[in-house]
């Protein structure tokens, strides 16, 4: 936001839950607006694009998936973090939410501490990506034990180069840029090979297995989310540190 004020829009039709979320976000010093329907949420989002959006799936008019898709389709909000907060927690629901463009997914009943942690992670990403001095082509994780240099196409573990294929390198970089965020196999394929590429999910699994082996004891940081896909663990250094000029 150009004003420097971090804002959140909560699209939630249950007043008690909406107010609970508002309370915890305001404790984070966010300015919060609540919308009780999908259409109202879109009106607020268009009028003043927020720093972060918390979105229920089951809404009285437009569904959360429809709202998410429209937010992603608008230039002003295409990159705005969206965290889905919903009672629909099946594997199919999570995959649908992520495929629609959500960055994260929190199921009800939720722990306020977990929700706050997810929002903080989203806000850190916004700040990092808006900093002109930050270079997203180089990052380090796990107290700099793992370093990924996109420009040089180089991965090092404990200072030693690791021999990854082009696909393995791109897949690792894609996951490591967003620790803790789940990526479906289809999202991984689209990010690494392009949306028009047809590959089996098994291909992704094979690449993940190879990357884990090559990373040694850091390999388990690539976690399997059963029935959904993969994520890079938030254990250790919770956010990647990016090189600055």
CATH number at residue 84: 3.40.50.2300
Instruction: Judge residue 197's burial from the number of C-beta atoms within 10 Å of its C-beta, 0-12 exposed, 13-18 middle, 19 or more buried.
Output: exposed
**Number of structural domains the chain divides into:** 2
> 160: domain range?
135-244
> Is residue 29 scored above 60 in pLDDT?
yes
Residue 188 inside a domain? The answer is yes
Same domain, residue pair 121 and 140 = no
Same domain, residue pair 19 and 122 = yes
Same domain, residue pair 120 and 90 = yes
Residue 62 inside a domain? The answer is yes
> Is residue 200 scored above 70 in pLDDT?
no
> Is residue 236 scored above 80 in pLDDT?
no
Sheet architecture: strand order including 82-86: 31-35, 7-11, 52-55, 82-86, 104-107
Domain termination residue (choose one: 100, 130, 160): 130
pLDDT of residue 11: 98
Same domain, residue pair 86 and 145 = no
pLDDT of residue 163: 87
């Amino acid at each position: 936001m150009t004003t420097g004020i971090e804002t959140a829009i909560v699209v939630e039709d249950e007043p008690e839950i909406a107010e609970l979320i508002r309370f915890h976000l305001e404790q984070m010093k966010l300015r919060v607006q609540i919308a009780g329907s999908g259409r109202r949420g879109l009106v607020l989002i268009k009028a003043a694009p927020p720093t972060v959006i918390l979105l229920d799936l089951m809404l009285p008019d437009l569904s959360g998936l429809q709202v998410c898709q429209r937010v992603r389709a608008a230039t002003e909000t295409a990159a705005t973090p969206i965290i889905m907060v919903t009672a629909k927690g099946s594997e199919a629901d999570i995959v649908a939410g992520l495929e629609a463009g959500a960055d994260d997914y929190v199921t009800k009943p939720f722990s306020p501490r977990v929700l706050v942690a997810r929002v903080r992670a989203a806000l850190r990403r916004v700040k990092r990506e808006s900093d002109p001095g930050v270079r997203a082509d180089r990052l380090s994780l796990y107290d700099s034990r793992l370093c990924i240099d996109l420009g040089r196409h180089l991965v090092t573990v404990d200072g030693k180069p690791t021999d990854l294929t082009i696909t393995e390198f791109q897949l690792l970089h894609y996951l490591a840029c967003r620790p803790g965020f789940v990526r479906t196999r289809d999202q991984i394929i689209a990010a690494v090979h392009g949306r028009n590429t047809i590959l089996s999910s098994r291909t992704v699994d094979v690449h993940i297995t190879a990357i884990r082996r090559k990373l040694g004891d850091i390999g388990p940081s690539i976690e399997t989310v059963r029935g959904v896909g993969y994520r890079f663990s938030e254990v250790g250094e919770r956010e990647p540190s990016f090189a600055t000029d």
